[in-house]
Structure 1
Amino acid sequence: MQNQGLGAWIHKRRMKSAAKTAIISTAGEMSYGAFAERVDRLANALADRGIAQGDRVAYLGENHPAFLETFFACGTLGAIFVPLNTRLAPPEVQFALQDSGSSILIHARTLEPLAVRGSSLLGITHRIVVEDGPAGNGNGGSAGNATEAGGQGTAVELLEEVIGSGSEERRDVAVSLDDPAMILYTSGTTGRPKGALLTHGNMTWNSINVLVDFDMASTDVALMIAPMFHVASLGMGVLPALLKGATVVLEPKFEPGRTLMLIEKYKATSISGVPTTYQLLCEHPDWDKTDISSLNKLTCGGSAVPMRVLEAYEARGLSFTNGYGMTETAPGATTLAAEKSRPKAGSAGLPHFFTDIRIADPMGDVLPAREVGEVQISGPNVIREYWNRPDATVESYADGVWFKSGDMGYVDEDGFLFISDRLKDMIISGGENIYPAEVEQVILELEAVSSAAVIGVPDEKWGEVPRAVVTVREGFAVTAEDIQQHLDGRLARYKIPKSVVIVEDLPRTASGKIRKADLRKEYSN
C-alpha cells in the first residue's frame, strides 16, 4: 500500500472490522464497511471534479458523518482538508477559502447562506450541499441553481448524488506521514488568522499518544459533543477511536439534557469538553436520574476543573483526565491522569508519551522547577509550518525545534506542568505580573459563581489593574464586594481585581473558551 497516511485508516478498518458500527448520528448508524465504501466513492467523485494530490477541499458544517467522509476522502487522494468554524462571519469564511486556495466547498444545507456569501467570487468550482436539515433562509439559493446559488462558474450539487456518482474502486495514492493533511485556521485574536498545516504524521502521532495515555479500547463508545472543526474533538476523540475500531457518536450541538440522554442510550464510555461543559451537565435537572455508569473516560481541556464540579463527578464515581494543548500540537501536549486530579490539582499534567515540553525565558534559556516562563513543545505531533506564512513559522520556533506556545507556566519538581496564563493575557500592574487564570480559579471557589474571566484595564497609577467579569449561577446571589472579600487573604493584594462586573453571559468560542478579546473591547473602559 502506497498510502501511509490517514487515507488508509478506514480501508484497513474495513478489512479488520467491516460489520462493526463506526458512526452513530442523527442520520443513523454506519458500519466500518459502509463508511469505507462511501469514502472511496467520494474520493473518486472528488477526483472526477478535478481534485488531485495537494489540492484543498473545504468543509463547513457541524458534526455529521459527511465531515469524516470528506476528511478521509481527502486523505485517500492526498488532498488537504480545510474545516471551517461554523461561527465565522462571511468575510472570515472568505478569507479562509481564499488563503487556502480551496476549489471545492462542501457545506451543510443549514449553513447555505453563509457558504454562498463566504465563497462568492473566489473561484470555487464546486459547492456540494449536505442535507443536514431544513434549507436556509433563502439568502443562499438552493442546490441545482448554479448561477444563483454558486456564483458564475460554480457547480452546485447534493452530496448524496456526488457520492453516488463515484466509483467503488479504492485509490492508492502515494502519501507519506510528512505530507500535509489539513489546514486549521487559528482564532486570529491578534492579526489575521494563521493556517496551521497539520501533516498525516502529526495526526497519527497524536492519536498514538492518546491510545498510550488514555487506554482507549475497541469496545469504547465515544460521544462527541464538541465540534470536529476544532482539533481537540477530532484529534483527541474521533481519530483515536476510529484508529482503534471503536464507535463514535456524533452530536451536532451540545445540549446538556440531550447529552445525558445519549450517554444512557448508547452506553457511552467517554466524553470530552471544557469545564463549562461538565458544569452544565452536573447542574442539569436530569443529572441525578440519568444512568451514566458506562462512563470511564472524562477528558477536559481549556482550563482546570473547578473543585465543586470535580466533587460532583467524584460523588458518582467519576474523575477527570485533564490536558493541555493547541491546534499546532494536533492538539495534545500534556495530560493529567485521573488518579492525579487531586494530588496535582490545577496541573495540566505530564507530557504525552511521544511529546516533550520545556519552560524557557525570553532568551531561550531553560528554567528550573517552579520558575514561570514560556511553555515550549517538541514532538512528531507538532506542526512544522503555517500555510503560506514563512514569517509566522520562523517566529514560532526556538532553536528550530521547540514550538513557542505563547503560554506562560512552570513545571514542579515532578515534571508536572502548571499553566499560568496566555502570554498576551498576562497583566502587568506596577511592574508585577498577574496571571488571570490564577485569579479566576480562586473566584470559582465561590459556589455562587458559574464562570469568571479576569482582564487588565487601564489605570493611571499602575498602568493596568485586574477587572473580573463573572456570571452567577441560577438561584444564587453574589456581589462584587463578596468576591473581593473572598479573594482577600487568598491572593496577594495586587492580584485582587479592583473592580468586578456581573453579567448574564460571557462570550465564548465554539469550543467553550471565553473570548477575552471581546471582553476587553466591552469592559476595558
Structure 2
Amino acid sequence: MPMPSSRTVPALLAEQAARYPDHEALVAGPVRYTYATLRDEVRAFAKGLIALGFGKGSRIAILMGNKPEWVVADLAICSIGGIMVAVNTWVTTRELHYILKHSDADGLVVADRFLKYDYVAMLAEMEPHAESLPCLKTIIHVGAAGPKGSIAFADVFARGRPVPDAALASAEAAISPLDVTYLLYTSGSTSTPKGVQIQHFGLIENMWNIGERMHVTAEDRLWLVVSLYWGLGCENALFNMLTHGACTVLQEHFDAGEALAILESERCTLFYGTPNIAQALDEHPDRPKYDLSRLRSGGSTGSPEQFQRLIKLGVTEICHIYGLTETYGNCTVSDGRLDPPEKRYASVGRPLPGVDLRIVDPETFAPRGVGEPGEVQMKGYVTIGYYKDEDKNRASFTPDGYFRTGDLGFLDADGFLFFRGRLKEMIKTGGINVAPAEVEEILMAEPAVKVAYVVGVPDAVRDEIIGAVVVAEPGAEITEAQLMDRCRRELAAYKLPRAFRFVKEADLPLTTTGKVQKNRLAEFFQPAAAG
C-alpha cells in the first residue's frame, strides 16, 4: 500500500474517499461512516463553518468525549484552513478559561456534559464572555441544550447548504502543508499547559510511518477509547487510520465491560491504550465470554511485564511506542512482528523514518556513545514551537535546531532507544545523579514484584534519598529485606533504595490519561502516608 500523496487534511480525505469509498472510516455505536460519507459530512459541516464566518486561521476549540461529532468537527476545521484546539475533557473551569483565552479561540464546539462534568455550567461561570473571552464569538453545542446563545450542531449543516462548493474548494486550495492545523495543550502538572502547534503534512507523513511499523492495512479496525483530545488520539490513532484507509471505532469513555462487547462485535484488530486499560479488560469478570481473537497489533507503553498482559489479551504484535505531543505523537515505535523479542518491549523501538534522533549530555550537548544515557533530542517531525511562548521555545530547542524532550535514554548498537525516565526525575543523592528507571528495572526483576516506581525523597543529610513504591503480584508476598538483597547484588551502594512503601495498584495516582503521576509518588513517604 503506497503512502497517500496528499499533504493537507482535506486533500487526504478526498484521496481516501476516492480510493476506499465503501470502507468504513468511523464507527460510534449506531453511527457509521464510510470514507465517502465521512467526507460528505465533513464538507457539509465545513460549509456551515464558512457560513458562520470562520475561515483560514480561525481557532475553533473542541470539548467533548469520543463522539463522532468530535471527528467531524475536527476534520471540518482543518478543511477550511482553521486551527483545531483540543480541550481536555477532564478540564476545570479555571483550565477551560485559560485554554480558550490563551489559544485566542474564536469558536467552540462543546457537548453539554461529559460524565460528571457540566460544561454548560462551566461556561456560564465565565459570563459575560465578551469580557472574559473577547475572541470567542460562536459556540456550537452537541446535546439537548447548550450555553446561552449557542448554535445546535445540526443547525450548522443547515446554515452551510447555501454555501457553494466553490467557496469550500477555494478554502481548501488556500491551505499549505506547512500550515498549523492543530493546537494541542500538554497537561502541565507543575505549570500552565503549553500550546503545541502541529502542521498538516506531519499529521499525514508521521502517522503513516507509525502505521507501517504496526503493519496497518485498510482492513484494520482500531478500538479507540483513548481520549481524542490527547495527542495519542487525534494525532497518532486517528491519522494512522485515515492514512491507511482503516476504520476508527470510538468508545465515548472507558468502561471495561462495554469495551469487551465493542471489541468483539466490531471485530477490532488494533488496540491503543495504557497498561491500566489492559489490566481492567483482562481482570473483568466477563472477559472469558468475549472473543477477542481478531486483536493483532496497536500501541502501548509500560514494562515488559505489562506488555505480557496485552499479549495474553490477544494483542500478540503490540508495539512499544514513545514520543510526545511535540513529536507528532510517536517518534520511535517497536515492530511487534519483526523486532527481536528481547528488544521488542524492553526498548521503545527504533526512530521512525524522517526522525533524526540523538543522545547527548544534557548540559554540554556532547554526544553520548552506544549504551550511554543522556537527553533524547530530535529533529524532523517536531512542533514548530509553542503558541505565544517564546521563552519556552528558546529553552526547548538547541542552537542547532534539535528539540529537547527532557527525557533520558540511550541507543544500543542496533539503534534501538531505551527510555530511562524524565531528566527532571533524576535523583541527586549525596551529590550523585541516579536514574530512577535503572533502580526500577532491578526491583521489577524480582518475580513477586508486579510494578515498582522510584522517586527522590527529601533528606537532610543526602539532599535526597531513593524511595521505592512497590506493588506486589496478586497473592505474592514481598519484603523489604528481599528487595534489598537483590539491589545490593545489582546496584552500586549510592543507588540503593533507603525507603520502601508497599501499596496496591489501585492506590497509585493516575493522570486523566492513565499514566502514573510520578510527581505525586513522594506523598507515600510523608508521615501521614507512612502511617
How far did residue 285 of structure 1 move?
3.2
**Matches of 2:186 and 2:203 in 1, distance apart?**
17
**Matches of 2:310 and 2:417 in 1, distance apart?**
25
**Matches of 1:308 and 1:384 in 2, distance apart?**
34
Q: Return the TM-score normalized by structure 2.
A: 0.87
Which ranges of structure 2 fall in alignment gaps of 5 or more residues?
Answer: 1-5
**Matches of 2:244 and 2:431 in 1, distance apart?**
51
**Matches of 2:277 and 2:333 in 1, distance apart?**
18
Partner of 2:138: 126
Partner SS for 1:398: coil
**Matches of 2:313 and 2:221 in 1, distance apart?**
23
Aligned pairs for 1:493-508 (under 5 A) are: 493-503=493-503, 504-508=506-510
How far did residue 333 of structure 1 move?
0.8
Q: CA RMSD in A?
A: 2.5
Aligned pairs for 1:102-251 (under 5 A) are: 102-110=105-113, 111-112=118-119, 113-117=121-125, 120=129, 121-123=132-134, 124-131=136-143, 142-143=145-146, 149-150=147-148, 155-167=149-161, 169-170=164-165, 171-172=168-169, 173=171, 174-251=174-251
Partner SS for 2:44: helix
Task: Tell me if the contact between 2:310 and 2:318 (Cα under 8 Å) persists in the aligned partners.
Answer: no
Which ranges of structure 1 fall in alignment gaps of 5 or more residues?
Answer: 136-141, 144-148
Task: Tell me if the contact between 1:197 and 1:386 (Cα under 8 Å) persists in the aligned partners.
Answer: yes
**Matches of 2:261 and 2:512 in 1, distance apart?**
22
Task: Tell me if the contact between 1:93 and 1:118 (Cα under 8 Å) persists in the aligned partners.
Answer: no
How far did residue 230 of structure 1 move?
0.9
Deviations along 1:32-51, one digit per CA (max 9) or x if unpaired, are 23222221122121222221
Cα–Cα, structure 1 residues 476 and 48, in superposed 2: closer, same or farther, change >3 Å?
farther
**Matches of 1:477 and 1:258 in 2, distance apart?**
33
**Matches of 1:433 and 1:82 in 2, distance apart?**
39
How far did residue 130 of structure 1 move?
1.3
Identity of aligned residues (%): 29
**Matches of 2:514 and 2:263 in 1, distance apart?**
20
Deviations along 1:493-522, one digit per CA (max 9) or x if unpaired, are 433332223444222222211122333467
Task: Tell me if the contact between 2:275 and 2:306 (Cα under 8 Å) persists in the aligned partners.
Answer: no
Partner SS for 2:76: helix
**Matches of 1:341 and 1:282 in 2, distance apart?**
26
Within the candidate set 330, 333, 348, 1:332 is matched to: 330
Partner of 1:57: 60
Partner of 2:16: 13
AA aligned opposite 1:237: A
Partner of 1:322: 320
**Matches of 2:122 and 2:39 in 1, distance apart?**
30
Partner SS for 1:424: helix
Within the candidate set 87, 90, 96, 2:90 is matched to: 87
Task: Tell me if the contact between 1:453 and 1:514 (Cα under 8 Å) persists in the aligned partners.
Answer: no
Cα–Cα, structure 1 residues 253 and 477, in superposed 2: closer, same or farther, change >3 Å?
farther
Within the candidate set 510, 513, 526, 1:511 is matched to: 513
Partner SS for 1:340: coil
How far did residue 95 of structure 1 move?
0.8
Cα–Cα, structure 1 residues 218 and 348, in superposed 2: closer, same or farther, change >3 Å?
same
AA aligned opposite 1:37: D
Count of residue pairs the alignment pairs up: 502
How far did residue 447 of structure 1 move?
6.0
How far did residue 472 of structure 1 move?
5.3
Cα–Cα, structure 1 residues 493 and 316, in superposed 2: closer, same or farther, change >3 Å?
farther
Partner SS for 2:341: coil
Partner of 1:373: 374
Partner SS for 1:386: coil
AA aligned opposite 1:342: P
AA aligned opposite 2:519: A
Is 403-412 or 189-198 further displaced after alignment? 189-198
Aligned pairs for 1:250-269 (under 5 A) are: 250-269=250-269
Q: Return the TM-score normalized by structure 1.
A: 0.88
